[in-house]
Chain A
Amino acid sequence: MRLSRSARIVLGTITGLILFFIYAPLLLVVVNSFNADRTFGWPPKGFTLEWWGRAFDSAGVREALMTSVWVAVVSTVISLALGTLLAMALQRYKFFGRDVINLLVILPIALPGIVTGIALNNMFTTVLGVPLSIWTVIIAHATFCMVTVFNNAIARLRRMSPGLEEASADLGAGVFTTFRLVTFPQLRSALLAGGLLAFALSFDEIIVTTFTIGAGQQTLPVWILQNLFRPNQAPVVNVVAVVLILISIVPIWLAQRLSEDSVGVGVGAKKAAKTAK
Chain B
Amino acid sequence: MAMQTTTAPGPAPAGGPERKPVPPRKQGISALLHRSPRLRLAGLLTAPAAWLILVYIAALAALLITALWTVDTFTGKVSTTWTFDNIRTVLTTSVYQVITLRTIYIAVAVTVIDMVIALPIAFFIAKVATARWQKLLVIAVLMPLWASYLVKAYAWRNVLAEGGLLEWLGRPIGLDSPGYSETAVILTLAYIWLPYMILPIHAGFERVPNSMLEASGDLGAKPWTTMRLVMLPILVPSIIAGTIFTFSLSLGDYITAQIVGGTTQMLGTVVYANVGAANNLPLAAAVSLIPIVIIMIYLFVVRRTGALNNL
Q: Which residues of A approach B to under 8 Å, CB–CB?
A: 1-4, 7-8, 11-12, 14-15, 18-19, 21-26, 28-29, 32, 39-43, 81-83, 85-86, 88-89, 92-93, 95, 101-116, 118-123, 125-127, 139, 142-143, 146, 151, 169, 172-177, 200, 203-204, 206-207, 210-211, 221, 224-225, 228, 237-238, 241, 244-245, 248-249, 252-253, 256, 263, 265, 267-272, 274, 276-277
Please judge, given known A-B contacts A83-B48, A115-B288, A244-B147, whether A126 and B62 are in contact too, CB under 8 Å. Answer: yes
Contact of B223 among A3, A28, A120 (CB under 8 A): A3
Q: Which residues of A contact B51 (CB under 8 A)?
A: 82, 142-143, 146
Pairwise interchain contact A42-B163, C-beta atoms closer than 8 A = yes
Hey, which chain A residues are within 8 Å of B41, CB to CB?
A: 89, 92-93, 95
Min CB distance A262 to B, Å, is 9
Complex A-B: 23 CB contacts under 8 Å: A26-B151, A26-B155, A85-B47, A86-B48, A86-B49, A108-B56, A112-B291, A114-B254, A118-B63, A119-B63, A120-B59, A123-B55, A174-B1, A174-B2, A176-B2, A177-B1, A200-B146, A207-B255, A241-B150, A244-B148, A248-B146, A265-B196, A274-B206
What residues of chain B lie closer than 8 Å to A120, measured between beta carbons? 55, 59
Tell me the minimal C-beta distance from B110 to chain A in angstroms.
Answer: 13
Contact B45 A42 (CB under 8 A): no
Assess whether B149 is in contact with A204, with CB atoms less than 8 Å apart: yes
- Per-residue CB contact flags for chain B residues 195-209 toward chain A (1 = under 8 Å, else 0) read 110011011001111
Closest 4 CB pairs of A and B: A112-B252, A174-B30, A25-B155, A89-B44
Q: Does B203 lie within 8 Å of A269, measured CB to CB?
A: yes
Minimum CB–CB distance for A96 against chain B, Å: 11
**In the complex, what residue of chain A is closest to B298 when comparing beta carbons?**
A110
The segment from B83-91, B94-102, B242-250 found at the interface with A is B242-250
CB distance from A176 to the nearest CB of B (A): 6
- Shortest CB–CB separation between residue B265 and chain A, in angstroms? 13
Is the pair B63, A22 in contact by a Cβ cutoff of 8 Å? no
B80 shortest CB reach to chain A, Å: 9
Instruction: Please name the residue on chain A nearest to B67 by beta carbon.
Output: A122
Q: Is B278 an interface residue (CB 8 A)?
A: no
Please state if B217 and A42 are interface contacts (CB–CB under 8 Å): no
Contact A265 B195 (CB under 8 A): yes
Q: Which of A14, A126, A175, A269 contacts B281 (CB 8 A)?
A: A126
Q: Decide if A22 touches B141 in the complex (CB within 8 Å).
A: yes
Q: How far is the CB of A167 from chain B (nearest CB, A)?
A: 14
B144–A85 CB distance below 8 A: no
Q: How far is the CA of A82 from the CA of B23 in the complex (A)?
A: 31
Question: A23-B144, A25-B155 given as contacts; is B56 within 8 A of A15 (CB)?
Answer: no
Q: Bound complex: CA of A86 vs CA of B45, how far in Å?
A: 6
Q: Does B112 sit within 8 A of A, measured CB to CB?
A: no
A81 smallest CB distance to B (angstroms)? 7
Residues of A within 8 A of B157 (CB): 228
Cβ–Cβ contact A41 & B191, under 8 A: no
Cβ–Cβ contact B252 & A119, under 8 A: no
Q: Is the CB of B55 within 8 A of A272?
A: no
B117 an interface residue at 8 Å Cβ cutoff? Answer: yes
| New contact pairs (11) apart from A86-B49, A151-B311, CB-CB < 8 Å | A11-B128, A19-B140, A42-B167, A92-B44, A175-B34, A221-B149, A245-B144, A256-B139, A265-B196, A272-B206, A277-B131
Give CA–CA (A7, B196) in the complex, Å.
26
- A88 vs B155: C-alpha distance in the bound complex, in angstroms? 41
Closest to A142 in B: B51
Q: Assess the A85–B30 pair: CB atoms within 8 A.
A: no
Set of chain B residues within 8 Å of A248, measured between Cβ atoms: 146-148
Contact B56 A143 (CB under 8 A): yes
Complex CA gap A135/B200 in Å reads: 33
**Distance A114 CA – B292 CA, assembled complex (angstroms):** 10
User: Is B44 touching A85 in the complex (CB atoms < 8 A)?
Assistant: yes
Contacts of A204 in B (CB 8 A): 148-150
Query: Does the CB pair B124–A118 fall under 8 Å?
Result: no
Which residues of B from 202 to 230 have beta carbons under 8 Å from A? 202-203, 206-210, 213-214, 216-217, 223, 226
In contact, A39 and B161 (Cβ under 8 angstroms): yes
B104 touches A (CB below 8 Å): no
Contact B52 A104 (CB under 8 A): yes
Indicate if B310 sits at the interface (CB-CB under 8 A). Answer: yes
